[in-house]
Amino acid sequence: MDEVLIVDFDNHKFLQRTGDEKLILPKKLHRALITALDMAKSEGQSLRSLMVPEAFLRFFLETTGSFNDFMIHVPGAGRQFQKEEFVCKASNAPSIMVFLQWFTETQMFEVYTTERENDRNVVLGTFEEKVLEFQSEDHGELFSDHRRFKKFKLFGKNKKK
Protein backbone atom coordinates (compact mmCIF):
# COMPACT_ATOMS: atom_id res chain seq x y z
CA MET A 1 0.00 0.00 0.00
CA ASP A 2 2.77 2.40 -0.90
CA GLU A 3 0.76 4.53 -3.35
CA VAL A 4 -2.42 4.89 -1.33
CA LEU A 5 -3.97 8.06 -0.01
CA ILE A 6 -5.82 7.56 3.28
CA VAL A 7 -7.97 10.41 4.60
CA ASP A 8 -9.64 10.72 8.01
CA PHE A 9 -12.63 12.90 7.10
CA ASP A 10 -13.88 13.13 10.67
CA ASN A 11 -10.64 14.71 11.88
CA HIS A 12 -9.89 16.50 8.59
CA LYS A 13 -6.41 15.08 8.11
CA PHE A 14 -4.40 12.75 5.92
CA LEU A 15 -3.29 9.51 7.53
CA GLN A 16 -1.10 8.55 4.58
CA ARG A 17 -0.01 10.63 1.59
CA THR A 18 1.78 9.90 -1.63
CA GLY A 19 3.09 13.43 -2.09
CA ASP A 20 1.55 14.25 -5.47
CA GLU A 21 -2.05 14.90 -4.40
CA LYS A 22 -2.02 18.60 -5.27
CA LEU A 23 -0.44 17.93 -8.65
CA ILE A 24 -2.98 15.34 -9.83
CA LEU A 25 -6.35 16.93 -9.13
CA PRO A 26 -7.43 19.83 -11.35
CA LYS A 27 -7.48 23.00 -9.22
CA LYS A 28 -11.12 23.92 -9.88
CA LEU A 29 -12.30 20.40 -9.14
CA HIS A 30 -10.06 20.20 -6.09
CA ARG A 31 -11.53 23.44 -4.69
CA ALA A 32 -15.09 22.27 -5.39
CA LEU A 33 -14.41 18.92 -3.74
CA ILE A 34 -12.91 20.61 -0.67
CA THR A 35 -15.88 23.00 -0.51
CA ALA A 36 -18.33 20.10 -0.61
CA LEU A 37 -16.40 18.17 2.03
CA ASP A 38 -16.24 21.26 4.25
CA MET A 39 -20.01 21.66 3.88
CA ALA A 40 -20.46 18.01 4.85
CA LYS A 41 -18.26 18.51 7.90
CA SER A 42 -20.72 21.02 9.35
CA GLU A 43 -23.66 18.60 9.07
CA GLY A 44 -24.79 15.79 11.33
CA GLN A 45 -23.44 12.27 10.87
CA SER A 46 -26.40 10.94 8.85
CA LEU A 47 -26.38 13.82 6.37
CA ARG A 48 -22.58 13.80 6.21
CA SER A 49 -22.63 10.10 5.29
CA LEU A 50 -24.73 11.07 2.26
CA MET A 51 -22.84 14.22 1.29
CA VAL A 52 -19.31 12.79 1.23
CA PRO A 53 -20.06 10.01 -1.30
CA GLU A 54 -22.10 12.48 -3.36
CA ALA A 55 -19.15 14.89 -3.52
CA PHE A 56 -16.88 12.16 -4.89
CA LEU A 57 -19.61 10.89 -7.22
CA ARG A 58 -19.96 14.38 -8.70
CA PHE A 59 -16.19 14.65 -9.04
CA PHE A 60 -16.03 11.41 -11.02
CA LEU A 61 -19.06 12.36 -13.11
CA GLU A 62 -17.31 15.56 -14.11
CA THR A 63 -14.04 13.84 -14.96
CA THR A 64 -15.08 10.41 -16.28
CA GLY A 65 -18.80 10.75 -17.03
CA SER A 66 -18.28 10.50 -20.79
CA PHE A 67 -16.59 7.11 -20.43
CA ASN A 68 -19.19 5.20 -22.46
CA ASP A 69 -18.67 7.48 -25.46
CA PHE A 70 -15.24 5.88 -25.83
CA MET A 71 -16.36 2.26 -25.53
CA ILE A 72 -16.63 0.93 -29.08
CA HIS A 73 -17.51 -2.38 -30.67
CA VAL A 74 -14.72 -3.90 -32.75
CA PRO A 75 -15.89 -6.73 -35.05
CA GLY A 76 -14.31 -10.00 -33.97
CA ALA A 77 -12.83 -8.46 -30.82
CA GLY A 78 -15.91 -7.27 -28.91
CA ARG A 79 -16.07 -4.09 -26.90
CA GLN A 80 -12.93 -2.04 -26.45
CA PHE A 81 -12.24 1.09 -24.48
CA GLN A 82 -10.37 3.77 -26.42
CA LYS A 83 -8.19 5.10 -23.60
CA GLU A 84 -6.09 7.55 -25.61
CA GLU A 85 -9.18 9.06 -27.25
CA PHE A 86 -10.85 9.33 -23.84
CA VAL A 87 -7.90 11.15 -22.27
CA CYS A 88 -7.58 13.57 -25.19
CA LYS A 89 -11.25 14.24 -25.94
CA ALA A 90 -13.22 13.76 -22.71
CA SER A 91 -12.57 17.36 -21.68
CA ASN A 92 -11.19 20.53 -23.21
CA ALA A 93 -9.53 21.43 -19.92
CA PRO A 94 -5.79 20.60 -19.88
CA SER A 95 -5.86 20.00 -16.12
CA ILE A 96 -8.57 17.34 -16.51
CA MET A 97 -6.56 15.73 -19.30
CA VAL A 98 -3.57 15.49 -16.94
CA PHE A 99 -5.80 13.94 -14.27
CA LEU A 100 -7.22 11.45 -16.80
CA GLN A 101 -3.73 10.48 -17.96
CA TRP A 102 -2.93 9.55 -14.39
CA PHE A 103 -6.31 8.10 -13.42
CA THR A 104 -6.65 5.81 -16.46
CA GLU A 105 -3.46 4.08 -15.34
CA THR A 106 -4.83 3.14 -11.91
CA GLN A 107 -5.92 -0.37 -11.07
CA MET A 108 -9.37 0.89 -10.08
CA PHE A 109 -9.99 2.35 -13.54
CA GLU A 110 -8.47 -0.62 -15.36
CA VAL A 111 -10.73 -3.07 -13.51
CA TYR A 112 -13.75 -0.87 -14.26
CA THR A 113 -13.00 -0.70 -18.00
CA THR A 114 -12.11 -4.40 -18.25
CA GLU A 115 -15.43 -5.36 -16.65
CA ARG A 116 -17.30 -3.24 -19.18
CA GLU A 117 -15.29 -4.62 -22.10
CA ASN A 118 -15.85 -8.25 -21.11
CA ASP A 119 -19.43 -8.25 -19.86
CA ARG A 120 -22.19 -7.25 -22.24
CA ASN A 121 -24.78 -7.48 -19.47
CA VAL A 122 -23.16 -5.22 -16.88
CA VAL A 123 -25.73 -4.26 -14.29
CA LEU A 124 -26.10 -0.52 -13.99
CA GLY A 125 -24.81 0.56 -10.63
CA THR A 126 -25.27 3.91 -8.95
CA PHE A 127 -22.42 5.48 -10.93
CA GLU A 128 -23.79 4.31 -14.29
CA GLU A 129 -27.29 5.52 -13.38
CA LYS A 130 -25.88 8.91 -12.40
CA VAL A 131 -23.90 9.05 -15.68
CA LEU A 132 -27.12 8.52 -17.64
CA GLU A 133 -28.86 11.21 -15.56
CA PHE A 134 -25.87 13.54 -15.97
CA GLN A 135 -25.82 13.05 -19.74
CA SER A 136 -29.57 13.59 -20.09
CA GLU A 137 -29.42 16.95 -18.32
CA ASP A 138 -27.55 20.04 -19.46
CA HIS A 139 -25.02 20.42 -16.66
CA GLY A 140 -22.19 22.28 -18.30
CA GLU A 141 -19.27 21.90 -15.94
CA LEU A 142 -20.65 21.04 -12.51
CA PHE A 143 -17.59 22.07 -10.62
CA SER A 144 -16.64 25.19 -12.56
CA ASP A 145 -18.99 27.33 -10.48
CA HIS A 146 -18.99 26.59 -6.75
CA ARG A 147 -22.46 28.12 -6.32
CA ARG A 148 -23.89 25.51 -8.70
CA PHE A 149 -22.07 22.75 -6.82
CA LYS A 150 -23.81 23.70 -3.58
CA LYS A 151 -27.11 22.79 -5.22
CA PHE A 152 -26.18 19.15 -5.86
CA LYS A 153 -28.86 16.51 -5.37
CA LEU A 154 -28.55 14.29 -2.36
CA PHE A 155 -27.50 10.73 -3.06
CA GLY A 156 -30.52 8.62 -4.00
CA LYS A 157 -32.94 11.52 -4.32
CA ASN A 158 -35.14 11.22 -7.39
CA LYS A 159 -33.71 7.77 -8.02
CA LYS A 160 -35.84 5.71 -10.40
CA LYS A 161 -37.12 2.46 -9.02
Residue 131, class by beta-carbon neighbours within 10 Å (0-12 exposed, 13-18 middle, 19+ buried)? buried
Residue 42, class by beta-carbon neighbours within 10 Å (0-12 exposed, 13-18 middle, 19+ buried)? exposed
* Rounded Cα distance, 128 and 144, in Å: 22
Q: Phi and psi for 151 in degrees, rounded to 5?
A: -95, 15
Decide if pLDDT at 87 tops 70: yes
State how far the alpha carbon of 14 is from the alpha carbons of 6, 7, 49, 114, 121, in Å. Answer: 6, 4, 18, 31, 38
Percent of the chain surpassing pLDDT 90: 12
* Rounded Cα distance, 141 and 149, in Å: 10
Q: DSSP class of residue 153?
A: P
Decide if pLDDT at 67 tops 60: yes
Using DSSP, state whether 15 is helix, strand or coil: strand
Q: Work out the average pLDDT over 57-85.
A: 89
Q: DSSP class of residue 132?
A: H
pTM attached to this predicted model: 0.69
